[in-house]
Chain A
Amino acid sequence: MTNSQLNTDRYANMFAQLNAKNEGAFVPFVMVGDPDVDTSVNIINALIEGGADALELGFPYSDPIADGPTIQKAAIRALSHKIKTTQCFEVIKKVRESNPDIPIGLLLYSNLVLKRGIEKFYTDAAEAGVDSILIADVPLREADRFIAIAEQTGIKQILIAPPNASDETLAEIGKKSQGYTYLLGRAGVTGAETAVTIPASELVEKLVQYKVAPPLLGFGISTPQQVSDAIKSGAAGAISGSATVNIVAENLTNPAQMYETLRNFVSDMKHATKK
Chain B
Amino acid sequence: MNHLDSKFGDYGGMYVPELLIPALDQLEQAFIDAQKDPEFQAEFMDLLKNYAGRPTAMTLTRNLVNNPKVKLYLKREDLLHGGAHKTNQVLGQALLTKRMGKTEVIAETGAGQHGVATALACALMGLKARIYMGAKDVERQAPNVFRMRLMGAEVIPVNAGSGTLKDAVNEAMRDWSASYDKAHYLLGTAAGPHPFPTIVREFHRMIGEETRAQILEKEGRLPDAVVACVGGGSNAIGMFADFIDEPSVKLVGVEPAGKGVHTKDHGAAIGKGTTGILHGAYSYIMQDGDGQIEESYSVSAGLDYPAVGPQHAHLSDIGRAEYVSVTDEEALNAFQILSRKEGIIPALESSHALAHGLNMADEAEDGSIIVVNLSGRGDKDLAHVHSILGDTFMGGANND
Contacts and interface: CB of A to CB of B under 8 A. Distances in A.
Interface string B278-296: 1110100101011111000
A142 B277 CA distance: 12
Contact of B291 (A112, A137, A159): A112
B18 A69 contact: no
A136 B277 contact: no
A205 interface: no
B293 A115 contact: no
Contact of A142 (B13, B180, B287, B290): B13
Contact of A114 (B16, B20, B21, B276): B276
A84 interface: yes
A137 B15 contact: yes
A47 B69 CA distance: 76
Given A61-B292, A136-B17, A166-B22, A115 B160 contact: no
Interface string B113-151: 000000000000000000000000000000000000000
B18 A139 contact: yes
Given A62-B161, A141-B1, A188-B178, A110 B18 contact: no
A72 B2 CA distance: 31
Interface in B263-281: 275-280
Nearest to B290: A85
Given A142-B14, A162-B19, A166-B22, A112 B177 contact: no
A68 B18 contact: no
A65 B21 contact: no
Interface stretch (B28-36, B166-174, B201-209, B378-386): B166-174
A205 to B, nearest CB: 20
Contacts of B18: 139-140, 159-162, 165, 169, 184
B162 to A, nearest CB: 9
A147 B72 CA distance: 52
A111 interface: yes
A113 B291 CA distance: 8
B287 A66 contact: no
Given A63-B161, A65-B16, A137 B21 contact: no
Interface in A146-176: 159-162, 164-166, 169
A111 to B, nearest CB: 4
Contacts of B289: 115
Nearest to A135: B15
Contacts of B291: 61, 85, 111-116
B290 to A, nearest CB: 5
Contacts of A184: 18-19
Contacts of B19: 160, 162, 164, 184, 187
Interface in B155-191: 160-161, 166-167, 170, 173-174, 177-178, 180
Contacts of A111: 276-278, 285, 287, 291, 293
Given A65-B173, A112-B291, A115-B276, A189 B160 contact: no
A65 B279 contact: yes
Contact of B287 (A72, A115, A160): A115
A108 to B, nearest CB: 10
A162 B292 CA distance: 27
A187 B1 contact: no
A179 B177 CA distance: 26
A203 interface: no
A63 B293 CA distance: 7
Contacts of B174: 65-68, 188-189
A161 B276 CA distance: 25
A85 to B, nearest CB: 5
A187 B277 contact: no
Contacts of A68: 174
A247 interface: no
A79 interface: yes
A110 B276 CA distance: 9
B113 to A, nearest CB: 22
A140 to B, nearest CB: 7
B389 to A, nearest CB: 34
A194 B13 CA distance: 30
Contacts of A137: 15-17, 277, 280
A113 B166 CA distance: 20
Contacts of A166: 22
Contact of A110 (B20, B160, B277): B277
Nearest to A72: B160
B14 A116 contact: no
A68 B160 CA distance: 10
Nearest to B293: A62
A195 B18 CA distance: 20
B14 A63 contact: no
Interface string A176-201: 00000000100111000010000000
Nearest to B159: A69
A63 B170 contact: yes
Contact of B22 (A61, A65, A164, A188): A164
A98 B17 CA distance: 34
10 contacts: A63-B293, A65-B170, A68-B174, A69-B160, A76-B161, A116-B290, A137-B16, A141-B1, A142-B14, A189-B174
The 6 closest A-B pairs by CB, nearest first: A115-B291, A188-B178, A111-B291, A139-B18, A162-B19, A62-B292
